[in-house]
Amino acid sequence: MRLFVNRYYPVLINIYTVWMLYLLFFASFRNDSNQIFTINPIPFTTMFNYTFTYIKDSVIESIKNLFGNIVLFIPYGFLGILYPRLNRFRWLFLSFFIIINIIEFSQYFFKRGYADIDDVILNTFGAVVGFFIYKKWFLIKDI
């Protein structure tokens, strides 16, 4: 299994990244011309709104927001396969945190979505979960 992941992960993560960038910038749900593009710098606002304010309207939207933003970014926790420096938690966390901030603000700048700190938190948490799965699965002890 380790050989399979080490051999095919580079190809698969590149394909996955292209797909993710498509979802983040070009998917049809991002093309609402009536949408107001903003920056949400207050942590947990969107999560709170989805969980408590809009729960009556859309439980599925709340679940998709919370878990989708986590689960879709778990594969990035395995980046240590490609970049040995990212086998260290602090480097993976810092690198991913910076990159996801760039992506979030790019969405705002290019009017393709919101720059939301909650997305940054959830996406980074997903990569962290992936990192610990990677470390546990491959029994690598240099966290």
- According to the model, what pLDDT value does residue 138 have? 72
Residue 84, CB half-sphere, CA atoms under 13 Å: how many?
0
Q: Express each pLDDT in 54-75 by its tens digit.
A: 555 567 777 777 888 999 999 9
Strand, coil or helix: what is 38? coil
Measured between alpha carbons, how far is 35 from 31 in angstroms, rounded to an integer?
8
pTM of the model: 0.83
Token reading at 96: 């991913």
Q: Kindly state the average pLDDT of the residues 21-50.
A: 74
Token reading at 66: 């919370």
Q: Express each pLDDT in 5-30 by its tens digit.
A: 678 889 999 999 999 999 888 875 55
Q: Express each pLDDT in 60-118 by its tens digit.
A: 777 777 888 999 999 999 998 889 999 999 999 999 999 999 999 998 898 887 888 99
Domain ranges of the chain: 2-138
Which residues fall within 8 angstroms of residue 116, CB to CB, at 6 or more apart? 39, 40, 46, 104
Which among 68, 55, 47, 76 has a CA at the least distance from the CA of 134? 76
Taking CA atoms, 76 is separated from 10, 81, 92, in Å, by 11, 10, 9
First to last CA, the chain: 21
- According to the model, what pLDDT value does residue 117 have? 92
Q: Would you list the DSSP string of 72-139?
A: TTGGGGGGGGT-GGGGSHHHHHHHHHHHHHHHHHHHHHTTSS-EEHHHHHHHHHHHHHHHHHHHHHHT
